[in-house]
Amino acid sequence: MSEATDRRVFCLVLDSLGVGALPDAASFGDAGSHTLDHLLAAAGDVRLPNLEAAGLGRIAGVHGPRSVERARGGFGRMAERSPGKDTSTGHWEMMQCPLERQFPVYPDGFGDDVLGPLIERTGVPGVLCNAAASGTEVIDRLGAEHLATGKPIVYTSADSVLQVAAHAEHFGLERLYAFCEVARDITRDAGLGRVIARPFVGEVGSFQRTYDRKDYSLDPPRATTLDRLVAAGREVVGVGKIGDIFADRGVTRSIHTEGNADGLEHTLEVAKDLAGGGFCFVNLVDFDMLFGHRRDALGYARALETFDAWMPKLDALLRPGDLVLLTADHGNDPTFMDGTDHTREYVPILAYGARDGSESAADVDLGTRASFADVGATVIEWLGLEAEADAPGRSFAADLRGARAKA
């Protein structure tokens, strides 16, 4: 068995890949949601041989993928302990920082206590929208007025977010970022989860959002798994919006990406040189941003096929003792046509090691985990750090190794 300081962990978040409604989903308006099964049924013939081999079809409550007789590694699903269904809540809980109270939401838009000082401090002539809206729809509807007036488009969703859409050339990208920094400062005491800059380009009738999005998150309210790893001198690489989600805390290197394909290429580059004892945390945003919110089940399915075909490339770079974790942060059922918001669901957990020299066993049913925090607890144990007495997660590293010892 390798030393803990030689092992590495790669956790890839397939953003929004839920695997069935949580017991309290009805209170969030999400009863009956099942992102994975529903998108597969809607798309038809979808080929996911590597995810199926990892045990995706063996997870409780999952019926869409093929169920293999012997899964490559550990498989299960995780419930969200925190009262929410947004990016920050999901990722924070994964890294052992669950929330006791839901972030505040603004279904009727933001009051004068927010917009008044925001307009005054940034010098804009006003704002447009100030309501819950779909990001793509709102720039189509208000983009021309934005160009004519210079007023940024401020909107929200079912999540605790203040989003700002502005034309990257006419309004200016750096000006948009500065506007969002002021918004973050104004909303910090109220506990708003995130301020998100949503730049777009193009002409009227053909506006397109860019990958220069930037999230301005609150600081997590307690030390996370990432903080503990950095304090122990470990390398922590965030790929995609990980750095933004954690307010750049607990990350030694943050890599901005332009979608899934770019994120996966960067993940391979990290896998080539990540030091022993290191952690690579990846968010693959396109599943959520391009397909879940836009209710595009076929596009979601094709993106899953692309990810599945990529998986052997990471396999080729794994070392003995490495661990790969595949999961999600919430659901976003593309067949739910009454809205465009996230859905409150279980998320999958698939865990496996290198093809040669793996320290994790095959065919380990991890069951239904009580919290996303089990991911962070497993990372801590796998990399040789001691669990804190009051840690909210329960590691399944021993389940993987124990089954290996019996095999």
Instruction: Specify whether the backbone of 10 is left (phi greater than 0), alpha (psi in -120 to 50) or beta.
Output: beta
| Domain-embedded: residue 2 | no
- pLDDT, the chain, mean: 96
Annotated binding site for Mn(2+): 15, 288, 293, 329-330, 342
Domain closes at, from 154, 182, 217: 217
Residue 253: closest CA among 261, 173, 264, 273: 273
Residues 262 and 380 in one domain: yes
Residues 184 and 47 in one domain: no
User: Cα(219)–Cα(235) distance, rounded to whole angstroms?
Assistant: 20
Given a contact cutoff of 8 angstroms between Cβ atoms, the answer to whether 89 and 344 are in contact is: no
* Cα distances (Å, whole numbers) of residue 25 to 14, 37, 227: 20, 16, 31
User: Cα(146)–Cα(203) distance, rounded to whole angstroms?
Assistant: 12
Annotated binding site: 15, 288, 293, 329-330, 342
Q: Which pLDDT does position 403 carry in this prediction?
A: 53
Residues 89 and 225 in one domain: yes
| Domain-embedded: residue 212 | yes
Residues 299 and 184 in one domain: no
Domain closes at, from 217, 243, 264: 217
Q: Which residues of the chain have pLDDT under 50?
A: 404-407
Backbone angles phi, psi at 352, to 5 degrees: -155, 165
Instruction: Give me the number of domains the chain comprises.
Output: 2
Residues 186 and 203 in one domain: yes
Q: Which pLDDT does position 358 carry in this prediction?
A: 80
Helix (H, G, I), strand (E, B) or coil at 254: strand
Domain closes at, from 217, 246, 268: 217
User: Cα(276)–Cα(282) distance, rounded to whole angstroms?
Assistant: 18
Q: Which pLDDT does position 3 carry in this prediction?
A: 67
Q: Give the pLDDT confidence of 92-138 residue by residue, as tens digits.
A: 999 999 999 999 999 999 999 999 999 999 999 999 999 999 888 99
| Domain-embedded: residue 168 | yes
Domain holding 145, by residue range, is: 112-217
- List the CATH number of the domain containing 43: 3.40.720.10
User: DSSP for 62-131?
Assistant: --SS---SS-SSEEEEE---SS--SHHHHHHHHTT---SSPPP--TT---HHHHHHHHHHHT-S--EEEE
